[in-house]
Structure 1
Amino acid sequence: MLLQCNATLAWRCPLCGELELNQISIFDFSGKNRLEIKCGCGYTKLVFGKSSSKKYWLEYACVVCESTHRVSFTQGQFWVNRVKKIKCLDNGAELGYLGPYEDVKRLADQEEEYLRLMIDKLEFEDYFNNPEIMLSVLNELHDIAEANGLVCQCGSSDIDIDMLPREIRLTCNRCHGVTRISAETKEDLAFLRKIKQIKILEGVVSALEGINL
């Protein structure tokens, strides 16, 4: 059994939707037993851990069943030179991949292509009133989140993004505050581009305006 000292993780951020590749080294666990993997937007996607018995574990929030799962590996299983598919423990849906870079990147590229085809199949352009504006607004939101500008008044960073035909809704999973962002016109996009921070108001539903900035 061939072991390696490095592994690559492919995981889609549940907050911003970006699929990123993260490099993990055996030396990342030197002097510590916990390793948080963050998205470029700042959201903690999942956590690796190492127990005293030299076993490794992986804890992640499942976007399929909305539960938190934990899976364990022996040292040999964790660093073996082949891909491990990380799944929803309830229904077996594949959520991410861990293993050699080339193999993981190939699977990640396949997933991105599959997602693109699925969006086409679901008639993406027919669902949104203005799909180009919607995608541009999503990109702006990602940039704001990447600069740590997406926050909730209650202090939580656990925020869901829902896309509707005319708007995007940001929902805090702790206090259930909601901010609605219009994503239909050029004026909506121009307004968002002037914003550096979006603050969800604690426990209430509001539209994005001066009070949320």
Structure 2
Amino acid sequence: MLIDSNIAIAIRCDICGEITIHDVSLFDFSRSKKINLECECGQSSAIIKTKDYKSFWIELFCFACQDIHVFKYSLRKLLKGKIIARCIETGIEISFIGKNDDIKQLVKEYEKDSEEILNELGFYDYFQNFDIMMKVINRIREMDNEGRVFCDCGSDNIQTDLYPDRIELRCIECGSVHLIYAETEEDLKKVLECAEIQMHKYSFQCIDSRFGNNDRNKKG
């Protein structure tokens, strides 16, 4: 009896937000014990590893919490399919694994449900300009993943808060604040022009196209 060794893995990119369905053959592991899956934007979405071809570890780059989650599946489980991987922190569905036709249906239902939930919560209406906000968020995530968002106090523990018109970065260690406005195309252009976001110890900074970049020390 012939065994279908092909599986499909749907993953939402943690940078651009797009869902990509990757087709993988388990015979691909005969040449390597590790497969890297990339989004069309070039961002790595997942790494699949095996040691004995009986158990497989999948490292998923989570768009929901910006962490990396590792899941272990047996060969039998992968071939059976209909697997839903969830973010360990939030419980949000972050990946679907199974046969291609099943995955396409799951993704279709997921996108429909997500859209309805976001509409019910008023998510789109919360921001002054939803499209600009999402593009700014994705740009900040891209820089953060490349180690280009940091505070010079030495801490990498930076809290992110979203507001209707801006994103607030706050260093948990020293309390420095960096505001990034995301309302207009000019705001987006300002962020895209930034090679990095460097927060300064005990300081307040602002990226706003209306007034230019503002950087001043807090009064102690």
Shorter-chain TM band: 0.5 to 0.7
- Determine which structure has greater relative contact order: mean sequence separation of CA pairs < 8 Å that are 6+ residues apart, divided by chain length: 1
Give the SS at the match of 2:196.
strand
2:134 corresponds to 1:138:
yes
Which residue is equivalent to 1:114?
113
Which residue is equivalent to 1:47?
47
> Structure 1 residue 106: deviation in Å?
1.1
Conservation of the 8 A alpha-carbon contact between 2:178 and 2:199? no
2:209 corresponds to 1:201:
no
> Structure 1 residue 121: deviation in Å?
0.8
Distance 1:65 1:190 in 2: 26
Alpha-carbon distance change, 202 to 143 in structure 1, aligned in 2, over 3 angstroms? closer
Which residue is equivalent to 1:36?
36
Give the SS at the match of 1:102.
helix
Amino acid of the structure 2 residue aligned with 1:138? M
> Structure 1 residue 59: deviation in Å?
2.6
Alpha-carbon distance change, 160 to 26 in structure 1, aligned in 2, over 3 angstroms? farther
Which residue is equivalent to 1:70?
70
Which residue is equivalent to 1:56?
56
Conservation of the 8 A alpha-carbon contact between 1:15 and 1:160? no
Alpha-carbon distance change, 178 to 153 in structure 1, aligned in 2, over 3 angstroms? farther
Q: Superposition pairs for residues 152-191 of structure 1, below 5 Å?
A: 152-153=147-148, 163-168=162-167, 180-189=179-188, 191=190
Percent identity between the aligned chains? 27
Distance 2:194 2:145 in 1: 6
Distance 2:90 2:135 in 1: 31
Number of equivalenced pairs:
198
Distance 2:62 2:190 in 1: 33
Alpha-carbon distance change, 189 to 179 in structure 1, aligned in 2, over 3 angstroms? same
Distance 2:61 2:165 in 1: 28
Conservation of the 8 A alpha-carbon contact between 1:150 and 1:197? no
Amino acid of the structure 2 residue aligned with 1:95? I
TM-score by length of 1: 0.67
Conservation of the 8 A alpha-carbon contact between 1:161 and 1:169? yes
> Structure 1 residue 49: deviation in Å?
0.8
> Structure 1 residue 58: deviation in Å?
1.6
Where in structure 1 are there 5+ consecutive unaligned residues?
A: none
Conservation of the 8 A alpha-carbon contact between 2:53 and 2:75? no
Distance 1:170 1:116 in 2: 27
TM-score by length of 2: 0.65
2:79 corresponds to 1:83:
no
Amino acid of the structure 2 residue aligned with 1:124? F
Which residue is equivalent to 1:17?
17
Measured on the aligned residues, the alpha-carbon RMSD in Å equals: 4.2
Distance 1:92 1:151 in 2: 26
Amino acid of the structure 1 residue aligned with 2:147? C
Conservation of the 8 A alpha-carbon contact between 1:151 and 1:200? no
Distance 1:187 1:67 in 2: 30
